[in-house]
Amino acid sequence: MSSTVETPSTSWDPLSWTNFPIQQMPNYVDKEALAKAYAQLQAYPPLTTSWEIESLRTKLVQVGRGEAFILQGGDCAERFEDCNPKHIVNLMKVLLQMSFILLHEMNLPIVRIGRMAGQYAKPRSSDTEVVNGKTMNSYRGDIINGFEADSSNREARPERLVEGYHKAGLTLNFLRSLVDDGFADLHHPETWELDFMQGNTFYREYKDMVLSIQHAIGFMESLKDDRFNALQKVDYFTSHEALNLWYESAQTRQVPRRDGWFNLSAHMVWIGNRTRQLDSAHIEYCKGIRNPIGVKVGPGLAEDELLAILDALNPSNEEGKIILISRMGRDKVAKELPNLLRRIKAEGKNVVWQVDPMHGNTFSTKNGTKTRNFDDILEDVKQSFAAHRAEGTYLGGIHLELTGNNVTECVGGSQGLNEDGLDLNYQSFCDPRLNYEQSLEMAFLVAREWKLGYKK
């Protein structure tokens, strides 16, 4: 490969985005190193497969028809150092337990999508920031630069693209091993618990739920000679924001016996609120891949613009292709979301609606600590469900930034964490996440809100 990455000039291919305006992309000074990293990523085996991606699309068709519900969650931005068994197991545990709660309460299939094995890049509001009185490049995620506050470490380095691939591969390998080894076995859901759950308001309700499911499984198996092997495993998909298009396009390929191109770095990717301009490189890239595509829908997005984005990304109006992720903030949901719901429904667009109640509800404490309030997040969820009920549309999922660790980053919840307690275990390098207890509590409350309008 030459010292520059060749770019096309006509029609779509994985690099046609280079001819379009782009936001939130680093400036790689060393073009030769970038070309080398790109060639390495192109030569490596895929991280996911086209049949896994098509399996997710089939499940999303169910969601769009009101027959399933999405639980999507994980770290705001993964760190390379989080590629370790404890972190992965804790995140897997909380997502499984949350899905277990939703499944029991809703009596619907739950589509589990992790923000992991690739969520290494983050958009920023400014290219630079002041740290210890010194101006330097903003931290944009481990796949781009380092968090440590020195100018050299904040330079965008292409070799981090390759390291991101390796960390994603190790994470996926461990996730698949857990699932294949029966980690999600519903015969023993009690083994998913973490010690610090026991003080939660919903602990007794969760225990009763575990016993209820165990009794149901035991009864059904007493009528059969074999165990319900299907209960020992779950389908689990990965996702990340398609932000660094060098990373995404290098792993975009055609596969035998299937039409089109697939981004084989994840099962689903999404376009962020800062990069969804109609003439942008990110729209250009995403319109050419077969993966399900999420689009963040924030305040101020005009109805006509959203329709134009849908036409660009899904011109044939296929089911299971587009997930619209509303992230309005609690004070703007009632004003802005209903008009969009009404227009999309009137135009007959096949979309899956999901709510991201985290973004839009961030604020800083008097000490400058970035946080979110559990009550604000829940109110965003409630208002979103209310808007969908009023418009006769289906809210088919929730998208959360969360962790399986006992961090102190978001205030509120049944344990009453306040601003004074944020310093106890604040670990996030970007946005604040719900901790383990707050995540489980949110699952119970989301399920209860869903049942207000959709329980049959």
Q: Which domains occur in the chain, in start order?
A: 31-454 (3.20.20.70)
Checking if the pLDDT of 83 tops 90, the result is yes
Rounded Cα–Cα distance for residues 54 and 177 (Å): 21
Question: Has residue 218 got a pLDDT over 50?
Answer: yes
Residue 3 has pLDDT above 60, yes or no: no
pLDDT of residue 201: 74
pLDDT given at position 202: 76
Q: Give the pLDDT confidence score for residue 348 in this predicted structure.
A: 98
Asked whether the predicted pLDDT for residue 43 surpasses 50, the reply is yes
User: Average of pLDDT values for 142-147?
Assistant: 96
Amino acid 416: pLDDT:
87
Structure tokens at 389: 């009920």
Q: Is pLDDT larger for residue 210 or for residue 224?
A: 210
- As a whole-number percent, the residues of the chain with pLDDT over 70 amount to 89
pLDDT grade for 225, boundaries at 50, 70 and 90: low
Residue 186 pLDDT greater than 80, yes or no: no
Q: Residue 388 has what pLDDT?
A: 97
Assess whether pLDDT exceeds 70 at residue 115: yes
Identify any residues that bridge with 295 across adjacent strands, giving them in sequence order.
Answer: 271, 324
Under DSSP, the state recorded for 371 is E
State pLDDT tens for residues 426-456.
999 889 999 998 999 999 999 999 998 876 5
Q: What separation in angstroms does the CA of 33 have from each of 30, 37, 219?
A: 5, 6, 61
* Residue (of 60, 72, 245, 234) closest to 143 by Cα position: 245
Model confidence band, residue 231 (pLDDT cutoffs 50, 70, 90): very low
- Mean pLDDT within 408-414: 94
Residue 396 reports pLDDT greater than 80: yes
CA-derived radius of gyration, the chain: 22
Q: What is the arithmetic mean of pLDDT over 393-397?
A: 98
Kindly report which listed range (8-22, 86-100, 329-343) carries the lowest average pLDDT score: 8-22
**What pLDDT, on the 0 to 100 scale, is given for residue 295?**
98
User: Per-residue pLDDT for 265 more than 60?
Assistant: yes
Distance, CA of 215 to CA of 209 (rounded, Å):
10
pLDDT tier, 2 (very low <50, low <70, confident <90, very high otherwise) = very low
CB 381 within 8 A of CB 449: yes
Position 8 scores a pLDDT of 42
Q: Over the range 15-32, which residues count as b (16 or more CB within 10 Å of their CB) and which as e?
A: bbbbeeebebbbebeeee
Does residue 224 surpass a pLDDT of 70?
A: no
- Segment 206-214 mean pLDDT: 74
Distance CA 329, CA 456 (A): 29
d(CA 445, CA 314): 33
Q: Looking at 190-199, 250-259, 393-402, which range is the least confident one?
A: 190-199
Phi, psi of 134 (to 5 degrees): -120, 130
**For position 85, what pLDDT does the model report?**
94
Which of 57, 125, 72, 44 lies closest to 322 in space, CA to CA?
57
pTM tops 0.75, yes or no: yes
Rounded to the nearest integer, the mean pLDDT of the chain is 90
Strands (E) across 52-211 are located at 69-74, 110-115, 128-131, 134-137
